[in-house]
Amino acid sequence: MKKFLSYIRPHLPVMSLQFLVKFGGTIIELFLPWILSTILDDAVPSGNMNSVYRWGGAMILCALLALIANVVANRMAIRTSRNVIIQLRHDLFEKALQLSSSQTDRLTIPSLISRLTTDTYNVHQLLDNMQRLLIRAPILLLGGLVITALLEPVLTLILIAALPFLGLVIWYTTRIGVPMYTEAQTALDRLIRTVQENIHGVRVIKALSKGDYEIAKFDQSNRDLIQKEQRAGITMAVTNPGMNLILNLGLALVIVLGAFRVNAGLTQPGRIVAFLSYITIIITALMRVPRLFVIYSKGSASAKRIAEVLEMSETMKIGMRDPVPGPYHIEFKDVCFSYNKVRNNLTNIRFGLKRGETLGIIGPTGSGKSTLLNLLLRFYDADSGEIRLSGENIGGIPPEVLHTKFGVVFQNDFLFADTIRANIDFGRRLTDAQIEMAAGTAQMDFVSEKSEGFSSLLTIKGANLSGGQKQRLLIARALAANPEILMLDDCSSALDYKTDAELRHALAKGFKDTTTIVVAQRISSIMAADKIMVLDEGRIIGYGSHAELLSTCGSYREIYEAQMGVVM
């Protein structure tokens, strides 16, 4: 909540003003019963009709003023929450962009998405309701106390005596009830996950005829959730009748005490009428409170989840520059790395690539191929050893400088709902010539078959392209800015061999000076590389040219023979 409050703080002056306007409006509204009592106690006994009309007019005037004040206050509140949310969401998204990869791994992407969407929405709701509705009950209570104290100080004591009891009810609900709602929310998340899994796995579930099993599994989550929801609901159910009871008992006391006061000539009956009005007004205002607590419990849980992200510290520090001149464009020196810091994912990786050379990496699944690329991009810091780019330790290069040197395609890379051109351009303001050149090299001949060409729109995640088309589009993106270093992580697997070969020809011709790292499953994709690295369980077990490896590296020869079959 602390973090959340820091977003509210700049708006505190406006919020206080809004509070004052609302308070003023409410007080004016609360004058109404008072005026009524004045009419009954003073105007009526005097028999002065004009005075009755005058006071009646005053009531309408007060009602009008209250209307204006409330509308003004509400609008101020809406504006405040708009401004807070714009800033909060902006900061959260910015933070999401800045998080290091290990931080995103820990949070998980789906969780990050729900924090950006559902959670910011809940906080917005909370902020809105807090300012507009939740605050009304205390204001009425407070205002009622002020007015009644002016009207009849002794009877006010009864209202004051009721306060601790009201407080107790509210304390009870927040302490006991809100955590129960949080629990129910977790159960709901579990239920949703079951549904999500079922949607993604629909083919498998149908193929295995596991529908009934999944229904039973869902039923379990459903029951669990219902149980928790019910427990929370029943706990909270005591709030409304409880608060009603306390105030109504107060009402009865006011009558008894009032009777004594009237009898002793200390007050007038009209004031008691006004008093009863006040208590009824306050009860009506409190009726809404329990529902607001639900909003509060949701909103504060969301605020906490948002704050968790916002408060993550920056883990990637930019170190000192320490250029060491050398022959290599890319150099790994005894690099070790582990994701979970238990088992190494890469051990003693050591190699150097000169400018314009091509490195092919091959190796079993889980051998550390993609990890190596992640380290070179400095998504993670190596545990030991160093990585140098043109002699410069990458730890000393600001990320935006480092990253513009690269053109990268990851496995299952990201496409977004925009034009093909925008997906290649990727916000880099490239020229049409650059785009077309890249598309040509990447063998994107399918663009010309589309009626809109480069302006054709992709649907979300590029779902309207085939796997091979997506991969070529991603390669075009990587090439378009003419990068110093090109990294392709298994991004031609969906291409047929023919297109794959043509792509390789075009790359060799058009990108001679680009240092290239290709990760592949197909040996044909890397056979012609200057250097080939064979990885196994995070270690280099073979390094050299195709011809060298055929004679020195048993594993490599095995892969080659397996993939090429009987060479004719």
Which residues between 318 and 347 bind other proteins (CB under 8 A)? 339-340, 343
The first and second tokens of residue 171, run together, are 């304390």
Which SS3 state, helix, strand or coil, does residue 486 take?
A: strand
Q: How far is the CB of 325 from other proteins (least distance, A)?
A: 26
Q: Which is nearer to other proteins, 205 or 310 (CB)?
A: 205
> What's the chain's Rg over C-alpha atoms?
35
Q: Which is nearer to other proteins, 174 or 338 (CB)?
A: 338
- Residue 504 interacting with other proteins (CB under 8 A): yes
The residue behind tokens 């351009």 is 425
Q: Which of 315, 497, 551, 552 binds other proteins (CB under 8 A)?
A: 497
Q: Does 159 bind other proteins (CB under 8 A)?
A: no
Sign of the dihedral through C-alpha 314, 411, 522, 345: positive
Tell me if 372 sits within 8 A of 348, measured CB to CB: no
Residue 468 as a binder of other proteins (CB under 8 A): the answer is yes
Is 101 or 434 the residue whose CB approaches other proteins more closely? 101
**Dihedral sign, Cα of residue 494, residue 499, residue 502, residue 503:** negative
Asked if 142 touches other proteins (CB under 8 A), the answer is no
Residues 169-198 that bind other proteins (CB under 8 A): 188, 191-198
Binding residue for other proteins, selected from 460, 512, 513, 547, defined by CB under 8 A: 460
Which segment (150-158, 240-248, 318-326, 448-456) binds other proteins by CB under 8 A?
A: 240-248
**Quick one: which of 2, 13, 209, 433 contacts other proteins (CB under 8 A)?**
209
For residues 377 and 346, is the Cβ–Cβ distance under 8 A? Answer: no
User: Nearest 5°: phi and psi at 385?
Assistant: 85, 175
Q: Is 207 in the site for other proteins (CB under 8 A)?
A: yes
Contact positions with other proteins (CB under 8 A) in 388-407: 399-400, 403-404, 406
User: What is the CA angle 171-177-182, rounded to 5?
Assistant: 130
Residue from 276, 312, 318, 437 touching other proteins (CB under 8 A): that is 276
Question: Site size for other proteins, by CB under 8 A?
Answer: 180
Rounded distance between C-alpha atoms, residue 231 and residue 292, angstroms: 18
Query: Which of 5, 12, 67, 154 contacts other proteins by CB under 8 A?
Result: 67
Nearer to other proteins, 33 or 328 (CB): 33
Of 29, 25, 23, 53, nearest to 39 by C-alpha is 53
Chosen residue from 1, 13, 264, 320 binding other proteins by CB under 8 A: 264
Of residues 360-379, those binding other proteins (CB under 8 A): 362-367, 377, 379
**From 43, 126, 394, 424, residue interacting with other proteins (rule: CB under 8 A):** 43
Choose between 220 and 324: whose C-beta lies nearer to other proteins. Answer: 220
Cα gap 274→159, rounded to integer Å: 14
Strand ranges in 218-343 using DSSP code E only, listed in sequence order: 330-337
3-state secondary structure 88-104: HHHHHHHHHHHCCHHHH
Q: Report the nearest approach of other proteins to the CB of residue 391 (Å).
A: 21
281 binds other proteins (CB under 8 A): yes
Report the distance separating Cα 238 and Cα 285, nearest Å.
Answer: 17
Asked whether position 70 contacts other proteins by CB under 8 A, the answer is yes
The contact pattern for other proteins, residues 111-130, with x = CB under 8 A and - = no contact, is: xxx--xx---x--x---x--
Tokens 């409190």 sit at which residue? Answer: 286
Q: Alpha-carbon distance 319 to 389, whole Å?
A: 14
Q: Which stretch binds other proteins (CB under 8 A): 154-162, 243-251, 321-329, 433-441?
A: 243-251
In order of 157, 169, 249, 271, 284, the CA distances from 244 in angstroms are: 18, 11, 8, 22, 9
**How many Å separate Cα 337 from the centre of its chain?**
29
* Residue carrying the six token digits 């009870």: 172
Name the minimum Å distance from CB 303 to other proteins. Answer: 17
